[in-house]
Amino acid sequence: MTSTTFHIGKDLRVRRLGFGAMRLPTEPGPAREAALGVARRAVELGVTLIDTAHLYGAGANEELLAEALHPYPEGLLITTKVGVARSGPAGEWKVDGRPAVLRDQVDQALRRLRVQRIELLQLHRVDPETPLADQLGTLGELRAEGKIGRIGLSEVTVAELDQARGFVDVASVQNRYNLLDREHEPVLAACEAAGIAFLPWRPVTWGESGAQAEIAAVAAELGATPTQVALAWLLGRSPVILPIPGTARTDHLEENLAAEGLALGPAHRDRLDRLAAPA
């Protein structure tokens, strides 16, 4: 039977099917009010892992989650990401892992999320212009200072993951991965071998029509939706996978979370496995 929970960093227990907050509108108005309701409904339905980032609205997404959920219920993990900043020549967003930037964004996240410590802090991207030792060394210092509980990475290769583990304990990796896009299969394998949480972003996507038709056929046979099939496939793919599907609609949220109860038999899984060749 597929486990519904995972211990990030070996000690932080979360429900494997989480929620990605990126799509929640943050501008004042009815859409924002609805977004607050979606975040609250996620927690009501038992979500214990919510993903956000400094990049999402320059911290506005973090503020939205705090408004919706603070004071946080026991066991709720809000993980955020740092390392992308408006530091391009014209003030545009760019990967920026300079120590001062990482420290500032962590301090901003602590203030916006209204917490003393971020239990899981992920480096949004590795900055090729800043030595990795400086980037991870800074996060390690922040952990020693008690501002960070665990350190994760995002969009890394196996080589980068190996190198990073030489500097810090890596608790999670957040790479793009789904039923039809398995480019990072080697990274998933490395995470599984090391017991590192693998949070696939863009966990649901659609490819060419033949693949869509096959997924729809499996869904029809199981009385489910294609999205639920895609999420159930991820949950069964590896015990370290923690999908974080995002939505701004309560009905889609409920549909996504119901995928946890969908059982894919060997025949269905075999058909789905063949839709995209592993990397």
pLDDT in tens, 50-60: 999 999 999 99
The answer to whether residue 173 scores a pLDDT higher than 90 is yes
Q: What is the pLDDT of residue 101?
A: 98
Average pLDDT score over residue span 106-131? 98
Mean pLDDT of 66-80: 98
Rg of the chain in Å (alpha carbons)? 18
Report the half-sphere exposure of 223 (CA within 13 A, side-chain side): 3
Contact assessment for residue 84 and residue 157, using Cβ atoms and an 8 Å cutoff:
no
Note the pLDDT of residue 134: 98
* Position with higher pLDDT, 279 vs 190: 190
> What is the mean pLDDT of the segment spanning 14-28?
97
- Banded pLDDT at 205 (limits 50, 70, 90): confident
Give the sign of the dihedral formed by CA 231, CA 235, CA 241, CA 247.
positive
pLDDT at position 224: 96
Average pLDDT, the chain: 95
In this prediction, residues 24-41 reach a mean pLDDT of: 97
* 200 SS3 class: coil
> What tokens were used for 148?
């960070």
Mean pLDDT, range 5-16, rounded to an integer: 97
Task: Say if residue 89's pLDDT is above 90.
Answer: no
pLDDT at 234 over 80: yes
| Residues β-bridged to residue 181 | 178
Tokens of 193: 């071998």
Strands 94-95 and 151-154: unpaired
Is 2's pLDDT higher than 60? yes
Q: Which positions ≥6 away from 52 have C-beta within 8 Å?
A: 21, 22, 61, 62, 65, 78, 79, 80, 81
Rounded mean pLDDT of 184-203? 97
One DSSP character per residue, 244-261 reads --B-S-HHHHHHHHHGGG
Average pLDDT of 212-240? 96
Q: What is the rounded distance in angstroms from the CA atom of residue 136 to the CA atom of residue 124?
A: 12
Candidates 3.40.390.30, 1.10.260.40, 3.20.20.100, 2.160.20.60; CATH matching 5-205+239-246: 3.20.20.100
Question: What is the spatial distance between Cα 257 and Cα 36, in angstroms, rounded to a whole number?
Answer: 18
Catalytic residues: 56
pLDDT of residue 266: 96
List Cβ neighbours of 29 (8 Å cut-off, separation of 6 or more). Answer: none
Beta bridge partners of 152: 122, 172
Structure token digits, residue 252: 């889609």
User: What pTM was estimated for this model as a whole?
Assistant: 0.95
Q: Which residues of 2-23 are buried (b: 16+ CB within 10 A; e: fewer)?
A: eeeebebbeebebbbbbbbbbe
Q: What share of the chain is helix, strand, coil (3-state, %, to 5)?
A: 40, 15, 40
Q: What is the pLDDT of residue 1?
A: 65
Inform me whether the pLDDT recorded for 278 exceeds 90: no
- SS3 state at 68: helix
Decide if pLDDT at 277 tops 60.
no
